[in-house]
Amino acid sequence: MRQYRIEPGTPVRLADWDPDDTAGFEKLDVRGRLKGLRKRLAAQQQVLWAEGRHRLLVVLQAMDTGGKDGTIRKVFSGVNPQGVRVVSFKAPTPVELAHDYLWRIHRHTPADGEIAVFNRSHYEDVLVVRVLDLVPEERWSRRYEHIRAFERLLADEGTTILKFYLHISKEEQAERLRARLADPDKHWKFNVDDLAHRERWDDYMAAFETVLSETSTAEAPWYVVPANHKWYRNLVVAETIVTTLEGLGMEYPEPEDDLEAVVVT
């Protein structure tokens, strides 16, 4: 899945990335593969929790209907909830606005042995804030450097960071919005404000391109995930997470006591 990874210093033009890409896979081919990846993820998460030395932070960003919730549901369905936290960042509260913009983020980063999944993240403060002109450019433009330093701090202290931009086309977003309108059970997911954001599509693409270009680093890489096909999106995210965890070389800790002579009666 390295073909989707943004190498540090690489300028990104999202028009060059095909959101329909499936790398030659077919949906039926992926079903069993994804099931196997879920088992491997569950196994790695258990070792991560038991060993208590590593931490994993997964960041998911996308346009509305991009599939953040679906990715979390499909990829992490088999893990032990005790060791995984999902944090959804909404509009900041008055208390959060009274602090620096990273304050509300830092307290949700993973502890030893944990996986934290961010549904939206600190990147909203260089995306929505930029597109909607909520703060001056001279202020938000400094935040790329802040974010790189923040993520370097996390990595230096033992956090493995994976960031996924779920890349859908404007046409696919329209189909998904229509599907929500057509299904009464999905009306709760429809927000009229999404249409206002959709009108700023090109502005958001420009903002995402800057994010991907400026903040993909060796210790906190971005992956541009083709997400028009949900099944392939799930495969790319799952395989990237699993191979990263397996690459950490984690092991179950040795027992503190000699268990050879222990007898349970």
Position 214 in a domain: yes
Tell me which residue range forms the domain holding 74. 2-246
Q: What is the pLDDT along the chain (265 residues), one digit of tens a residue?
A: 899 999 999 999 999 999 999 999 999 989 999 999 999 999 999 999 999 999 999 999 999 999 999 999 999 998 998 899 999 999 999 999 999 999 999 999 999 999 999 999 999 999 999 999 999 999 999 999 999 999 999 999 999 999 999 999 999 999 999 999 999 898 988 888 889 999 999 999 999 999 999 999 999 999 999 999 999 999 999 999 999 999 999 999 987 777 777 788 8
Within-domain flag for 265: no
Residue 115: inside a domain: yes
Place of tokens 């859908």: 168
Tell me, what CATH number does 134's domain have? 3.40.50.300
263 lies in a domain? no
Is 200 a domain residue?
yes
Give me the sign of the Cα torsion angle 45, 71, 240, 154: negative
- CA dist 173 and 177 (Å) reads 6
User: Does residue 187 sit within a domain?
Assistant: yes
Number of domains in the chain: 1
Burial of 89 (0-12, 13-18, 19+ CB in 10 A): middle
